[in-house]
Amino acid sequence: MMRGGMNTYRIAVLAGDGIGPEVMEQALRVLDAVEKKFGFATERAACHVGGAGIDHCGKALPAETLAACEAADAILFGSVGGPKWDALPPDERPERGALLPLRKHFSLYANLRPGICMPELVGASPLKDSLIQSGFDILCVRELTGGMYFGEPKFYGERNGETVALDTLVYKKSEVERIARVAFQAARGRRGKLCSVDKANVLSSSVMWRDVMNAIAPEFPDVQLSHMYVDNAAMQLVRNPQQFDVMVTENTFGDILTDEMAMICGSLGMLPSASLCRGNGESFFGLYEPSGGSAPDIAGQGIANPIAQILSMGMMLRYTCRETAAADAVDAAVRRVIAAGYRTGDLATGAPGETRVGTSGMGDAIIAAL
Ligand code: IPM
Ligand code: MG
């Protein structure tokens, strides 16, 4: 919306638990700086979520938090969970009690997870330098509201004198079509290669997945589509990650492959994500969050890497606000501070030329680089 002649975006800020609040603080400082530079504004509503929601309001996703998200153009999310709440029943725990309902409530079906290993950070990856040379840049598009996570029936109990547990892997054709189009579109804006990951040698849902991908492909003649079984994809990621441009896959496979992808990038502290649902026209409603989690072991010490949170804010500028120049500037500033040698503990290798910084020091460096 316009306010005082300026594009103004409403953001629900859900910092959450662990390192969430401290990395969020840096992302908001960087947002202040890009707003000034690029001439737009945000209205921010800070809300409790996760363990903080449980402690303050008795629920991981309090009603007032959900209401603030509904009133917003985007949700900027920190991270949730920690040992304090681990004894709660699984459905009430911060991770499942907040994230899954948010995804379902807002139909956030398209989860974009970039896996970028910058050339300067090759040494931080557990893969041999010889396997990744100049780094890599993969985008995983994970379907986020279907498959086994939400499929019915679900059951855990007694049947005919035996304990039985059951999950259902179900997809509708329309659900696969819409995620396919997001992935093809993304590949079109990058190197034009899309690898669809499935288990079509075993699962019916994967046979349909593959059929749908092939059926959509002619809409995107400029994108080269390939298919790979998920077990092979897990292997290829550690054998030759440079072969991938965009990967698209169903919910559970995407959960597993994106953790693997994050690991080989060197540090979880670098990876943003966007969970999107198509809004009006070109713009998406989205939830933007770091891939890394709440890292309770290092929370409150001022040493966490804020880059994943800052890049998540940048993805918000790109996909919800359509402030492309500002989003590009955030990405470029991060690349510049990495190239200049600034390193939080997770990235440091002790190589000459590195400057060790804490959470706010990294924020300062990125703001200066803007
Ligand atoms: C993720 C997480 C979540 C998932 C958990 C916390 C429910 O692992 O975002 O990848 O499985 O989707
Ligand atoms: Mg996961």
Burial class (CB within 10 angstroms; exposed 0-12, middle 13-18, buried 19+) of 172? exposed
Kindly name the residue from 199, 288, 342, 346 that is annotated as catalytic: 199
Q: How confident is the model at residue 266 (pLDDT cuts 50, 70, 90)?
A: confident
Nearest CA among 104, 38, 40, 45 for reference residue 75? 45
181 phi and psi angles, rounded to 5 deg: -65, -40
Side-chain half-sphere exposure of 282, counting CA atoms within 13 A = 7
Chain length of the chain: 370
Please identify which residue in the block is written with the tokens 């379907």.
143
Ligand nearest to the CA of 102: 1
Work out the mean pLDDT of the chain and round it to a whole number: 95
User: For 172-195, what is each residue's pLDDT tens digit?
Assistant: 999 999 999 999 999 999 999 999
**How many other C-beta atoms lie within 10 A of the C-beta of residue 35?**
18
Q: How confident is the model at residue 2 (pLDDT cuts 50, 70, 90)?
A: confident
pLDDT above 70 coverage of the chain, percent: 100
Within 6 A (CB) of ligand 1 lie 95-96, 99-100, 255
**CA separation for the pair 134, 119 (Å, rounded):** 5
Ligand nearest to the CA of 143: 1
In the reported structure, the alpha carbon of residue 149 is separated from the centroid of ligand 1 by a whole-number distance in angstroms of 10
Q: What pLDDT does residue 98 have?
A: 95
User: For 290-323, what is each residue's pLDDT tens digit?
Assistant: 988 899 999 999 999 999 999 999 999 999 999 9
Selected residue with higher pLDDT from 131 and 13: 13
**Beta-sheet pairing, 6-16 with 74-79:** parallel
Q: Give, in degrees to the nearest 5, the angle at Cα 139 between 138 and 141.
A: 145
3-state DSSP call for residue 147?
helix
Kindly name the residue from 137, 167, 255, 364 that is annotated as catalytic: 255
**CA separation for the pair 221, 7 (Å, rounded):** 36
Tokens standing for residue 220:
């995107």
Q: What pLDDT does residue 267 have?
A: 86
Closest Cα to atom 4 of ligand 1 = 255
Active site residue 199: yes
Closest Cα to atom 8 of ligand 1 = 255
Alpha-carbon distances, residue 24 vs 21, 97, 246 (angstroms): 5, 21, 28
**Beta-sheet pairing, 136-143 with 224-229:** unpaired
In the reported structure, the alpha carbon of residue 288 is separated from the centroid of ligand 1 by a whole-number distance in angstroms of 13
Query: Is the pTM value of this prediction over 0.85?
Result: yes
Q: What pLDDT does residue 370 have?
A: 96
Q: Which ligand 1 atom lies nearest to the CA of residue 144? A: 12
* Mean pLDDT within 215-238: 98
* Mean pLDDT within 102-116: 97
Nearest CA among 209, 130, 207, 198 for reference residue 176? 209
Cβ distance 347 to 120 under 8 Å? no
User: For 23-68, what is each residue's pLDDT tens digit?
Assistant: 999 999 999 999 999 999 999 999 999 999 999 999 999 999 999 9
Number of H helices, E strands in the chain: 13, 15
In the reported structure, the alpha carbon of residue 235 is separated from the centroid of ligand 2 by a whole-number distance in angstroms of 18
Q: What pLDDT does residue 279 have?
A: 73
Selected residue with higher pLDDT from 110 and 279: 110
| pLDDT higher than 80, residue 281 | no
Burial class (CB within 10 angstroms; exposed 0-12, middle 13-18, buried 19+) of 166? exposed
Kindly name the residue from 32, 129, 211, 259 that is annotated as catalytic: 259
Cβ distance 365 to 340 under 8 Å? yes
